[in-house]
Structure 1
Amino acid sequence: MMQLHLKKYILPLKHTFRISRESHDFQDTLIVCLSLDGLTGYGEATSNPYYRITVESMTAEIEAIQNEIMNFEFTEPEIFHQFLVEKGLTNFAICALDLAAHDLYGKLLKKPLYKIWHTNIDSYPTSNYTIGIDTIENMAAKIQEMPWPIYKIKLGTKDDIAIIRELRKHTNAIFRIDANCAWTTEETILNAPLLKDMGVEFIEQPLPADDWEGMEKVMHKSVLPVIADESCIVETDVEKCGLHFSGINIKLTKCGGLTPALRMIKKGKEMGLKIMVGCMTESTVGISAIAQLLPQLDYVDMDGALLLSSDIADGVKIESDGNVIFPTLGGSGITLR
Structure 2
Amino acid sequence: MEVQVKIFTVNKRFPLTISRGTTAQTTNIWVIVSQDGIEGWGEASPFGVGNHSQSTDKIKDALQQVTPILQGFSPLQRQQVEAELIKLQVPSAVRAALDMAMHDWLGKRVGLPLWQLWGLERDRIVPTSVTIGINTPEGARTRARDWLKFTDIRVFKVKLGNPDGIDADRKMLLAVQEEAPNLQFFVDANGGWSLSDAVEMCNWLADLGIKYVEQPLPRGQETSLVELKQHTSLPIFVDESCFSNADIPLLANYVDGINIKLMKSGGLTEAMRMVHTAKAYGLQVMFGCYSDSSLANTAAAQLAPLADYLDLDSHLNLIDDPFVGASIHQGKVLPNDLPGLGVQHSASAT
Instruction: Bin the TM-score by the shorter chain.
Output: over 0.9
1:225-282: CA deviation from partner (whole Å, max 9, x where unpaired): 0001111012210111101111011111011111111111001001000111111120
Say which SS state the counterpart of residue 223 (structure 1) adopts. coil
Say which SS state the counterpart of residue 19 (structure 2) adopts. coil
Corresponding residue number in structure 2 for 1:89: 90
Corresponding residue number in structure 2 for 1:149: 154
Distance in structure 1 (CA, Å) of the matches to 2:192 and 2:140: 19
Say which SS state the counterpart of residue 290 (structure 1) adopts. helix
- Corresponding residue to 1:184 among 189, 194, 218: 194
Corresponding residue number in structure 1 for 2:71: 70
Distance in structure 2 (CA, Å) of the matches to 1:257 and 1:175: 28
How far is 1:52 from its partner? 2.0
Distance in structure 1 (CA, Å) of the matches to 2:3 and 2:222: 41
Q: 1:288-303 residue pairs with structure 2 within 5 A?
A: 288-303=298-313
Distance in structure 2 (CA, Å) of the matches to 1:5 and 1:140: 43
Q: 1:1-20 residue pairs with structure 2 within 5 A?
A: 2-20=1-19
Corresponding residue number in structure 2 for 1:222: 232
The 8 Å contact of residues 281 and 307 in structure 1, kept in 2 or not, is answered as no
Distance in structure 1 (CA, Å) of the matches to 2:254 and 2:334: 35
* 1:169 aligns to 2:170 (yes or no): no
The 8 Å contact of residues 285 and 334 in structure 1, kept in 2 or not, is answered as yes
The 8 Å contact of residues 32 and 44 in structure 1, kept in 2 or not, is answered as yes
The 8 Å contact of residues 15 and 25 in structure 1, kept in 2 or not, is answered as yes
Distance in structure 1 (CA, Å) of the matches to 2:128 and 2:78: 26
Say which SS state the counterpart of residue 123 (structure 2) adopts. coil
Gaps of 5+ in 1: none
Say which SS state the counterpart of residue 281 (structure 1) adopts. coil
Corresponding residue number in structure 2 for 1:322: 331
The 8 Å contact of residues 188 and 222 in structure 1, kept in 2 or not, is answered as no
The 8 Å contact of residues 81 and 259 in structure 1, kept in 2 or not, is answered as no
Percent of pairs with identical residues: 30
Corresponding residue number in structure 2 for 1:237: 247
The 8 Å contact of residues 112 and 332 in structure 1, kept in 2 or not, is answered as yes
The 8 Å contact of residues 41 and 101 in structure 2, kept in 1 or not, is answered as yes
1:200-243: CA deviation from partner (whole Å, max 9, x where unpaired): 11000010111123200111221210001111012210111101
How far is 1:33 from its partner? 0.8
Provide the TM-score with structure 1 as the length reference: 0.95
Say which SS state the counterpart of residue 65 (structure 1) adopts. helix
> 1:5 corresponds to which letter in structure 2?
Q
1:48-68: CA deviation from partner (whole Å, max 9, x where unpaired): 244321222111111112122
The 8 Å contact of residues 164 and 198 in structure 1, kept in 2 or not, is answered as no
Say which SS state the counterpart of residue 163 (structure 1) adopts. helix
* 1:196 aligns to 2:197 (yes or no): no
Distance in structure 2 (CA, Å) of the matches to 1:63 and 1:139: 41
- Size of the alignment, in residue pairs? 335
The 8 Å contact of residues 284 and 308 in structure 2, kept in 1 or not, is answered as yes
Distance in structure 2 (CA, Å) of the matches to 1:33 and 1:314: 16
Where in structure 1 do 4 or more consecutive aligned residues deviate above 6 Å? none
The 8 Å contact of residues 315 and 334 in structure 1, kept in 2 or not, is answered as yes
The 8 Å contact of residues 140 and 175 in structure 2, kept in 1 or not, is answered as no
Say which SS state the counterpart of residue 169 (structure 1) adopts. helix
How far is 1:76 from its partner? 4.3
Corresponding residue number in structure 1 for 2:283: 273
Distance in structure 1 (CA, Å) of the matches to 2:91 and 2:111: 30
Q: 1:79 to 1:112 in 2, by over 3 A?
A: farther
Distance in structure 1 (CA, Å) of the matches to 2:291 and 2:74: 32
Q: 1:28 to 1:63 in 2, by over 3 A?
A: same
> 1:242 corresponds to which letter in structure 2?
A
Say which SS state the counterpart of residue 52 (structure 1) adopts. strand
The 8 Å contact of residues 124 and 297 in structure 1, kept in 2 or not, is answered as yes
Corresponding residue number in structure 2 for 1:29: 28
Gaps of 5+ in 2: none
Provide the TM-score with structure 2 as the length reference: 0.92
- Quote the RMSD (CA, aligned, Å): 1.4
The 8 Å contact of residues 161 and 195 in structure 1, kept in 2 or not, is answered as no
The 8 Å contact of residues 199 and 232 in structure 2, kept in 1 or not, is answered as yes
* 1:332 aligns to 2:333 (yes or no): no
1:10-68: CA deviation from partner (whole Å, max 9, x where unpaired): 11001121100111210121111111222211111211244321222111111112122
The 8 Å contact of residues 229 and 250 in structure 1, kept in 2 or not, is answered as yes
Larger deviation, residues 33-42 vs 277-286: 33-42
Larger deviation, residues 43-52 vs 104-113: 43-52
